[in-house]
Structure 1
Amino acid sequence: MIETDKSYIFLAGASRGVGREIAKYLVEQNQKVKALLRSPDSRAELEAMGIQVVMGDALDAVTVEQAMLGDQPIQAVISTIGGLPKDGQRADFLGNKHLIDAAVKAKVQKFILISSIGSGESAIALPPQALTTLKPVLIEKEQAENYLQDSGLTYTVIRPGGLKSEPATGNGVVTENQKVAGTIHRADVAQLVCQCLFSDAANNKVLAAIDRTQMYGYPEFEELSLM
């Protein structure tokens, strides 16, 4: 289990979506957070929350390493980055590769990667049309997952289902069953991520994250207890 001391949680992707929800939740839990931002648009808001912001692009390996190997010790890394291509190169793999490489050098205690249902062996959970549409992104997410698993770091890969922006429901669950699919609120993903951060039960596991009341079909699955 990672220690709750004076070291920081390094968060990549805090400007929006799941990353922003994770930032809020960590602050509520009195965790020290250092956020890597590519755009200054959300800098003031994050700093007002008490988060230390460092500017940089995850696609720049040197910048990432400097940010993570700064004055403050980093105990864990959480990455939610990905999305649209930049200069022909997505952050889904290359950006996460740079974060993982820097985390190895920083000797962090845990790395949590937010991926997606449909990546890797969970491809069977999505209908063919969705897989075809998402294929370019899912290929890179799987590459990032594999790179993390081969890094030697203690890791947790979390694959959320379809994301919604409503408030947390408390119905989010994680499971090692890669056949499940459904939707989940971003705030519930954030809570699950933070639970995994401090749970040895989540160490070195690939987990699907869904809302138990918003599943597609009614598959039987075993929920992973994070207590």
Structure 2
Amino acid sequence: MQHIFLAGASRGVGREIAKILLANEPPNFKLTVLLRNPTYTVELEALGATVVMGDALDREQLERAIAQSSADPIHAMISTMGGVPSDRGERADCEGNKNLIDMAVKFGVQRFILVSSIGAGNSVVALAPQVLQTLGAILKEKEKAEQHLIASGLDYTIVRPGGLKSEPATSNAVLTENPTVSGIIHRADVARLVCDCLTSPNANRKVFSAIDPQMLFKPVEFEVVALK
């Protein structure tokens, strides 16, 4: 049974990932989730996750949380972290993810999957200027985390979804290496794609845009990456 360490499971894509990984009875994965806010502990433990407390922006807290989890070796880490800046101006999108990547290296984790965003890195061309004006600073932080992961030496996958909606999964979503596509995608569909990447050799050392072809902002030709 693979042991997965998940950061960002309190809500959104991270919570959907936790649901998928623990859906079977018995589950196919052992899941440890990192929480900064204890409010969500009961819900995640009810799903079958093991909860450890810590702030990814605090390297000492983070190292203690991972050490607490590593009696069973961690095979992969997944991060969906983001959010508002800390009191010191640091963002989990960048500094929190960089800390987690460094700990993955330190603890000998094999794989790291980072959920980023369309508009980061070379996918900046996919977004309209008015969107970049609003989100440009956040996307730069996400890009820094992506670059840190690529340079880390870990086996990585970067998944960049477009605009996110909290709706039931459509099962239409796909991954592509074409950085020019953008559109709307449901969080549950992003979660399914991330979970598929966990076990696919076709996802190793790849950067993907995650899209729903039926909800593109504009028509673009692209090739779908087959994960299975």
Task: State the TM-score, normalizing by the size of structure 1.
Answer: 0.96
Aligned-pair CA distance for 1:218: 1.3
Aligned-pair CA distance for 1:8: 1.4
**Structure 2 residue aligned with 1:223:** 224
Q: Which AA in structure 2 matches 1:35? A: V
Q: Give per-residue Cα distances to partners, 1:127-154, cap 9 Å, x unaligned.
A: 0010111011111100000000000000
**Structure 2 residue aligned with 1:76:** 76
CA distance in 2, matches of 1:191, 1:185: 10
Aligned-pair CA distance for 1:69: 2.7
Q: Which AA in structure 2 matches 1:157? A: I
CA distance in 1, matches of 2:110, 2:170: 29
CA distance in 2, matches of 1:67, 1:200: 29
**Which stretch shows the higher mean deviation, 195-204 or 59-68?**
59-68
**Which stretch shows the higher mean deviation, 142-151 or 102-111?**
102-111
Matched, 1:23 2:18: yes
Aligned-pair CA distance for 1:72: 2.6
Q: CA RMSD in A?
A: 0.9
CA distance in 2, matches of 1:28, 1:132: 40
Structure 2 counterpart of 1:54, from 52, 67, 78: 52
CA distance in 2, matches of 1:62, 1:138: 26
CA distance in 1, matches of 2:97, 2:8: 11
**Which stretch shows the higher mean deviation, 142-151 or 41-50?**
41-50
Aligned-pair CA distance for 1:63: 1.6
CA distance in 2, matches of 1:66, 1:75: 18
Task: Give the conservation status (yes or no) of the 8 Å contact 1:57–1:63.
Answer: yes
Q: How many residues align?
A: 222
Q: Gaps (5+ residues) in structure 2?
A: none
Alignment identity in percent?
59
Moved over 4 A (4+): none
CA distance in 1, matches of 2:115, 2:16: 13
Aligned-pair CA distance for 1:10: 0.2
Task: Give the conservation status (yes or no) of the 8 Å contact 1:69–1:102.
Answer: no
Q: Which AA in structure 2 matches 1:182? A: G
Task: State the TM-score, normalizing by the size of structure 2.
Answer: 0.95
Q: Which AA in structure 2 matches 1:86? A: S
Aligned-pair CA distance for 1:68: 1.8
CA distance in 1, matches of 2:72, 2:129: 45
CA distance in 1, matches of 2:136, 2:63: 29
Q: Name the SS for the 1:213 alignment partner.
A: helix
Q: Gaps (5+ residues) in structure 1?
A: none
CA distance in 2, matches of 1:108, 1:213: 36
**Structure 2 residue aligned with 1:124:** 125
CA distance in 2, matches of 1:89, 1:148: 18
**Structure 1 residue aligned with 2:163:** 162
CA distance in 2, matches of 1:184, 1:218: 15
Matched, 1:43 2:38: no
Task: Give the conservation status (yes or no) of the 8 Å contact 1:93–1:143.
Answer: yes
CA distance in 1, matches of 2:39, 2:184: 28
Q: Name the SS for the 1:59 alignment partner.
A: coil
Matched, 1:14 2:9: yes
CA distance in 2, matches of 1:26, 1:74: 15
Which aligned pairs between 1:140-179 and structure 2 lie closer than 5 A? 140-179=141-180
Q: Name the SS for the 1:69 alignment partner.
A: helix
